[in-house]
């Protein structure tokens, strides 16, 4: 299967490309820069928003995995809404040109303030520009796929732990602080419980979604269980041998984060089981 991966040079993209290659897929990896992408993939430097016919430009892929998104860790950046139409136009061109399946990386922030287990049917009420934009893209691309008889998978990502020298998560910031020999890290209360998933497992789940055409729609890529932020960060510090302590209460908890939410992982477990039985 020929799979086009956008945003392939990014925090998640580099790991997903490696996993797709391990699954023996034909990968076309594109981004503004391709310097960190596994060279076993076909690497193409491009601004996907400027391409008149991206389907032909990327040699008519079977699947497009759309990871491209900027400022994902800055939840109220104006770029989310500013870029939204560009993302839609690019994917809509692919859909109308002949691609067989569209897979897009979404976020649990589409759901907004919610307590409990998040399923594919949980109502969405996003509380940030990031969540609002991803939710709007999901609705519009799902409709375009339906109208053009194209398979649609929406990967809903949760909280990723690992590859911390890249990205801008709390784990990346702690890694950077430790490398600067800081002994204390300003922190929230840490009481909120989230669904944490290790980086390699997350990338593997995304890759497995791409090669499975039986399970469609919204697919939570997650661990399926909640853990407090404090517990996971303290464990992360120990796992990496960092000599740094958390300064609890230095920052307020974000008002749009629920006290406890986690993903229903039944669909991704089904995908992994089906793919394993096919191999």
What CATH architecture is 2-160+197-221+264-278? 3-Layer(aba) Sandwich (3.40)
Q: What's the CA gap between 265 and 62, in Å, rounded?
A: 26
Q: Is 130 a catalytic residue?
A: yes
Q: What's the pLDDT band for 254 if we cut at 50, 70, 90?
A: confident
Which member of 11, 55, 57, 130 is catalytic? Answer: 130
Mean pLDDT (the chain, rounded): 96
What tens digit of pLDDT does each residue of 238-250 get?
A: 999 999 999 999 9
192-250 pLDDT, tens digit per residue, is: 999 999 999 999 999 999 999 999 999 999 999 999 999 999 999 999 999 999 999 99
How confident is the model over 127-179, as pLDDT tens digits? 999 999 999 999 999 999 999 999 999 999 999 999 988 888 999 999 999 99
Report whether pLDDT(279) > 70: no
pTM: 0.95
CA dist., res. 50 & res. 112, Å (int)? 32
pLDDT confidence of residue 277:
78
User: pLDDT of 69-128, one tens digit each?
Assistant: 999 989 999 999 999 999 999 999 999 999 999 999 999 999 999 999 999 999 999 999
pLDDT of residue 177: 96
Average pLDDT rounded to a whole number, residues 4-24: 97
Question: Which stretches within the chain are classed as H helix?
Answer: 13-22, 54-57, 79-97, 129-147, 170-179, 199-210, 229-240, 266-278
- Identify the pLDDT of residue 257: 78
Average pLDDT for 265-279: 91
**33-44 per-position pLDDT tens digit:** 999 999 999 999
Q: How far apart are CA 213 and CA 227, in angstroms?
A: 31
Of 148, 174, 150, the closest CA to residue 161 belongs to 174
What are the extents of the domains in the chain?
A: 2-160+197-221+264-278, 161-193+226-247
Over 90: is that where the pLDDT of 278 sits? no
């Amino acid at each position: 299967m020929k799979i086009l991966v956008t945003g392939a040079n990014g925090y998640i993209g580099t790991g997903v490309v490696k996993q797709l290659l391990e699954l023996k897929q034909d990968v076309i990896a594109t981004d503004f820069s391709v310097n960190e992408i596994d060279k076993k993939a076909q690497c193409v430097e491009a601004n996907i928003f400027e391409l008149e016919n991206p389907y032909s430009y990327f040699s008519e892929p079977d699947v497009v995995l759309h990871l491209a998104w900027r400022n994902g860790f800055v939840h109220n950046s104006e770029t989310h809404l500013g870029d939204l139409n560009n993302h839609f136009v690019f994917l809509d061109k692919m859909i109308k040109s002949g691609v067989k399946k569209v897979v897009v990386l979404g976020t649990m922030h589409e759901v907004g303030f919610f307590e409990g287990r998040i399923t594919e049917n949980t109502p969405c009420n996003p509380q940030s520009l990031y969540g609002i934009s991803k939710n709007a893209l999901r609705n519009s691309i799902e409709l375009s796929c339906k109208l053009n008889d194209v398979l649609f998978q929406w990967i809903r990502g949760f909280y990723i732990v690992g590859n911390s020298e890249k990205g801008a998560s709390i784990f990346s910031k702690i890694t950077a602080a430790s490398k600067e020999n800081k002994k204390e890290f300003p922190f929230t209360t840490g009481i909120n419980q989230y669904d944490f998933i290790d980086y390699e497992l997350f990338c593997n789940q995304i890759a497995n979604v791409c090669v499975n055409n039986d399970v469609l729609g919204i697919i939570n890529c997650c661990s399926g269980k909640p853990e407090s932020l404090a517990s996971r960060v303290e464990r992360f510090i120990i796992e990496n041998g960092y000599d740094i302590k958390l300064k609890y209460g230095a920052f307020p908890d974000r008002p749009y984060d629920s006290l406890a939410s986690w993903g229903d992982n039944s669909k991704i477990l089904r995908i992994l089981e089906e793919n394993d039985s096919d191999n």
